[in-house]
Amino acid sequence: MLRKEDRRFVRGRGRYVDDLQLPGMLHLAVLRSPVAHARIVSIDTLAAEAHPKVKAVVTGAMLAERGLAWMPTLSGDRQAVLATDKVRFQGQEVAFVVAEDRYSARDALELIDVEYDLLEPVVDVRRALDPDAALIRDDVPGKTDNHCFDWETGDAAAAEAVFARAEVVVRQELVFPRVHPAPMETCGAVADYDRIEEKLTLWSTTQAPHAHRTLLSMFAGIPEHRIRVVSPDIGGGFGNKVPVYPGYVHAIVGSIMTGRPVKWTEDRTENLVASGFARDYVMQGEIAATREGRILAVRSHVLADHGAFNGTAAPRKFPGGFFGVFTGSYDIEAAYCSMTAVHTNKAPGGVAYACSFRIAEAVYLVERLVDMLAAELDRDPVSLRMQNFIRPDQFPYTSRTGWVYDSGDYPRAMELALQIAGYDELRAEQAERRARGAGEPLMGIGVSFFTEAVGAGPRKDMDMLGLGMADGCELRVHPTGSAVVRISVQTQGQGHETTFAQLIAEELGLHPDDVDVVHGDTDSTPYGLGTYGSRSTPVSGAAAVLAARRVRDKAQLIAAGMLEVAPDDLEWSTAQGGGRFDVRGVPGSGVTIQEVAMRAHGAGDLPDGVEGGLDAQISYNPDNLTYPFGAYICVVDIDPGTAVVTVRRFIAVDDCGTRINEMIVEGQIHGGLTDGIGMALMEFIGFDEHGNCLGGSLMDYLIPTALEVPDWETGTTVTPAPDHPIGAKGVGESATVGSPPAVVNAVIDALAPYGVRHADMPLTPSRVWEAMQGRAAPPF
């Protein structure tokens, strides 16, 4: 089915936040710190206030008087709305201006004079806990160092025992560098505080409008029923639009102060420098095996750079996200991970960019280690994986770190990928090229097999700020048989308006065009935690299906009354595309769902105990996550003279269980594979020793164009999710999670003749060239 939302987007009639124009609306611009770490000595705003078009200039001191200088983050830390005492990262918000138009607001920023007293910045994550490292978080009473949190999972003693007796151990430091989701649309908001109704309406780029409403209420003291958050069309999220950013609060404060609507739209540089980054894990990885290639254990220590504030969006009990799935797709004896998270003078973030709560990092760790083990044992990386896969008959499979994988058939997916790729022919071509020797492009073949864990999550284990990670759906069937479904999740391009209509239509025997999907408005949609972590289909999708089934159960009672038979004498069918109840064994004897809907709302008696109307509401609390998986093969060519890597082919076999819309799933995978190539080869948010961000614009932060990506070759297997009402698993982040190790494994494979064992992302020409010369080098 083609997408419903395309009708407006191809006409330029989408409604994104910056398209919003309210009467009397003012514009907001943010003054940001030019340095990474400094005490604020003074701020002079007199000249800015005198600008004829300026309505307000606000500093941290002004917010502090109202108790609004600091706000809570989704991970229970706090973050400065405007800096008061000192700045802690370059790009941090120091003051804001509200003016008649956006050009004047920017003009006025130039008129604000801030005097800084420079402090030593903490930039290198490895030095953050040094005794002489500058203290970043002196706002936290009693804090004496830059420690953020510790976390561990698995069994340290069991892992130690296995490593002590293992015949082969491979160790490698693996850096997943800081990158950024960089959605095409940056973050922004329009706040409109109505002083008469004492009600705040906030249109914002949020993936989690309900959670934002609750957090804003708790922080700003506005009762929750007087806050309406509206997430209109969003120009991509990729996790960047989960946190509450200071800019949203600035717009709210600006609107309360001026009594007029206030718009905040950040530019690309602000987005890259100051909004939620992704990754930044330094992972000490170890893998233990027998000489025959039986993988026995995986162990790691992670040093996580969280920036100046812990703004990570992760379930409360999972400060390291779902990194615990780092044992991957393999049946092993022991596993252990310890993690140390630290503060540095950088922007907050960490969980973003389709990482599924740190699974991107976990998959990268295990898939690089398995490849390095294959190299050590002189084994083919595919056969080594096949030897160690969790077998189909082992599901549900409890991993050594406690994750219960729901279903999987890994060998089948791997074999399909090998077949599409023509793997044996590729290896033969590679051998032939290597035999021809110098001057030939270097050819590399990289494999990655990943298991995802998406659909957070069971509320007994998972919450954010105490909010359980259930999601809602409210379904209303109108008298004439069309329907509106209101969902708590929030699409950012993933096609929910189409796929949720398909889910309801399928269950009720309606045409998808007769089902409208409403989302994003907290006044009219049921409560839920939003769209990220590929959780829409597993959680809200399940809620939608169950709501439709509840409606159908009620419809069956009403139909039985209409036909004067017992409900059990009816059978449901959707033959000829329309839903109907017929008397069992007598096709065509019954009533259509539309006739039942009219009866439910109409005149005449309903069966005893049946209320009028045909609606249902569900808040779905999943029993478990879903565990989609995939087999990826990447083929690269490397120019030996320039070290430029070209991705020649990419084969992706994904299994996300039941597919609601094949076309949309494929599109999700294409996008995620492009992310993977970007991360592996191009994208990087770096810093110099002063803490200056070196990836702060699209001049430096390179994302793939149509020229850097190949035609994707995809394949499908279907292993349904046993716990989901239609067997569907999430898939949106699978390709982003699964593809970086495939690309890196391919590049390292190509460089095998040079004796290269490992090189860290991004594998830019300079870094690949240095690796070919036997040197590890920084990417710039």
Partner 1 sequence: MTSLFEEVPATADADADVPVRRVTVTLNGERRAADVEPRLLLAHLLRQGFRLTGTHTGCDTTNCGACTVLVDGLPVKSCTMLAVQADGHDVTTVEGLAGPSGLHPLQEGFKDEHGLQCGFCTPGMMLAAKALLEENPDPTEDEVRFALSGNLCRCTGYQNIVKAVLWAAKRMNGSEQ
Nearer to partner 1, 697 or 773 (CB): 697
Give the amino acid at 327. T
Is the Cα torsion angle 736, 742, 746, 749 positive or negative in sign?
Answer: positive
3-state secondary structure 147-209: EEEEEEEECHHHHHHHHHHCCEEEEEEEEEEEECCCCCCCCEEEEEEECCCCEEEEEECCCCH
User: What is the bridge-based pairing of β-strands 467-468 and 471-477?
Assistant: unpaired
Nearer to partner 1, 239 or 509 (CB): 239
The residue within the footprint of partner 1, chosen from 41, 135, 575, 698 (CB under 8 A), is 698
Selected range binding partner 1 among 78-86, 178-186, 443-451, 685-693, rule: CB under 8 A: 178-186
H or E segment to which residue 46 belongs: helix 46-50
62-69's contacts with Cβ under 8 Å and 24+ in sequence apart are 63/253, 68/219, 68/220, 68/249, 68/253
Establish if 653 lies at the interface with partner 1 (CB under 8 A). Answer: no
Angle, helices 734-750 vs 359-377, to 10°: value is 30
**DSSP designation for 12:** T
The residue within the footprint of partner 1, chosen from 578, 666, 726, 765 (CB under 8 A), is 666
Distance CA 116, CA 426 (A): 59
Establish if 9 lies at the interface with partner 1 (CB under 8 A). Answer: yes
Distance CA 389, CA 447 (A): 14
Nearer to partner 1, 235 or 762 (CB): 235
Nearer to partner 1, 38 or 230 (CB): 230
Nearer to partner 1, 603 or 707 (CB): 707
Establish if 438 lies at the interface with partner 1 (CB under 8 A). Answer: no
Give the amino acid at 139. D
State which of positions 589-648 bind partner 1 (CB under 8 A): none
Distance CA 699, CA 683 (A): 11
Nearer to partner 1, 148 or 652 (CB): 652
Nearer to partner 1, 144 or 524 (CB): 524
CA distances from 208 to 204, 468, 768 (A): 10, 13, 40
Establish if 50 lies at the interface with partner 1 (CB under 8 A). Answer: no
Establish if 233 lies at the interface with partner 1 (CB under 8 A). Answer: yes
Question: Least CB distance from residue 693 to partner 1, whole Å?
Answer: 14
The residue within the footprint of partner 1, chosen from 34, 47, 49, 53 (CB under 8 A), is 53
The tokens describing 540, both together, are: 């809200």
The residue within the footprint of partner 1, chosen from 118, 428, 663, 776 (CB under 8 A), is 663
State which of positions 519-538 bind partner 1 (CB under 8 A): 521
In terms of Cα–Cα distance, which of 659, 650, 655, 618 is closest to 743? Answer: 650
Selected range binding partner 1 among 9-17, 618-626, 716-724, 745-753, rule: CB under 8 A: 9-17
State which of positions 61-120 bind partner 1 (CB under 8 A): 100-103
In terms of Cα–Cα distance, which of 565, 545, 90, 553 is closest to 345? Answer: 90
CA distances from 310 to 173, 186, 345, 541 (A): 24, 21, 12, 31
Establish if 740 lies at the interface with partner 1 (CB under 8 A). Answer: no
In terms of Cα–Cα distance, which of 185, 217, 317 is closest to 527? Answer: 217
The residue within the footprint of partner 1, chosen from 22, 158, 169, 563 (CB under 8 A), is 22
H or E segment to which residue 633 belongs: strand 629-638
Question: Least CB distance from residue 114 to partner 1, whole Å?
Answer: 22
Reduced to 3 DSSP states, what percent helix, strand and coil does the chain have, rounded to the nearest 5?
Answer: 30, 25, 45
Establish if 197 lies at the interface with partner 1 (CB under 8 A). Answer: no
The residue within the footprint of partner 1, chosen from 268, 427, 549, 757 (CB under 8 A), is 268
Establish if 327 lies at the interface with partner 1 (CB under 8 A). Answer: no
Establish if 186 lies at the interface with partner 1 (CB under 8 A). Answer: yes
Establish if 492 lies at the interface with partner 1 (CB under 8 A). Answer: yes
Establish if 164 lies at the interface with partner 1 (CB under 8 A). Answer: no
Establish if 13 lies at the interface with partner 1 (CB under 8 A). Answer: yes
Nearer to partner 1, 481 or 738 (CB): 738
Distance CA 631, CA 425 (A): 18
The residue within the footprint of partner 1, chosen from 164, 196, 438, 699 (CB under 8 A), is 699
Establish if 694 lies at the interface with partner 1 (CB under 8 A). Answer: no
Binding interface with partner 1 (CB under 8 A): 2-3, 5-16, 18-22, 52-53, 100-103, 182-186, 230, 232-238, 267-269, 492-495, 521, 663-664, 666-675, 697-699, 703-707, 709, 711-712
